[in-house]
Chains A and B, each alone.
Chain A
Amino acid sequence: GQQVMQIPQYQHVQEGEDFTTYCNSSTTLSNIQWYKQRPGGHPVFLIQLVKSGEVKKQKRLTFQFGEAKKNSSLHITATQTTDVGTYFCAGPGEVTGGGNKLTFGTGTQLKVEL
C-alpha cells in the first residue's frame, strides 16, 4: 500500500535557527497536505499543495511540492517556541465516492530550545 515517510523523525533546534522536514511518498500524489500537532493536542490543517513544483508561504513557513509530486518539504525560518510540535504531511490514498482518505506521514517532532 501507499507509504509516506518523513525525515527527520526528531529535530532539536535553538530558537532562531531554521528547520526543515522532508516528506516522501511511494506513489504520485494529486495533492499534499501539512498538519501541525502541538504536544497533547490534535492535528491542525496548515496548507494544501496541488500543483507540481508549487511553493506556498505562511509567514515564516514555506511549503514546497516536488516536480514529480512524490515529495514535499516544510521549511521554518527563525524558529520560535510556538513552533514546537509534530508536523505531518499527508497524501490522498484514493478518492471513493467523494471521500478523501489520507495517508499521514510518520511525522517530524520539533523541539525548540531557548
Chain B
Amino acid sequence: SQTIHQWPATLVQPVGSPLSLECTVEGTSNPNLYWYRQAAGRGLQLLFYSVGIGQISSEVPQNLSASRPQDRQFILSSKKLLLSDSGFYLCAWSFQTYGYTFGSGTRLTVV
C-alpha cells in the first residue's frame, strides 16, 4: 500500500533562518506531488506541484522553493524565513486525476 511521510511535525524557526521540509512517498512510482499551505482556520493554498523528477511548477511567487531530487521525494525550502511563512504545510500525492493523499503536515511557526 502507498504511504506518505512528512517531517517534522512541528517546527519553530527564527525570522531569517533557512527552512527544509521533506516529504517522501512509498509504494508507488512517478506520483504527482504537491505542497500546500494552510493558514490558521483558513483554506488550502497550492504552493508547488511536480509531475516528475526535476519538474516543478510554482503557483505563488514568494521566498519559498521546491525540489524533487528523486521520484518519490519532494522538498520545500527557504533561504530566509519571514513571519508570514508561518502556517501548516501539507505535502500530498496523487495518481493521474484521482484524489489526493495528504501527509500529516508540518506546523511551522516563525518567531
Instruction: List A residues at the B interface (Cβ < 8 Å).
Output: 30-31, 33, 35, 41-45, 47-48, 88, 90, 92, 95-107, 109
Contact = CB atoms under 8 A, between A and B. Distances in A.
A96 B90 contact: no
Contacts of B41: 109
B90 A102 contact: no
Nearest to B99: A45
Contacts, number: 62
B104 interface: yes
A111 to B, nearest CB: 13
Contacts of A47: 99
A30 B30 CA distance: 23
Contacts of A104: 36, 43-44
B61 to A, nearest CB: 14
Given A96-B51, A97-B51, A103-B46, A45 B100 contact: yes
A10 B46 CA distance: 23
Nearest to A99: B51
B43 to A, nearest CB: 5
Residue with the highest number of chain A CB atoms closer than 10 Å, among B59, B90, B97, B98: B97
28 contacts: A31-B97, A33-B99, A33-B100, A35-B100, A42-B90, A42-B102, A42-B103, A42-B104, A43-B44, A43-B90, A43-B102, A44-B102, A45-B100, A47-B99, A48-B98, A92-B97, A95-B97, A97-B55, A98-B96, A99-B57, A100-B94, A100-B96, A100-B98, A101-B34, A101-B49, A104-B43, A107-B43, A109-B41
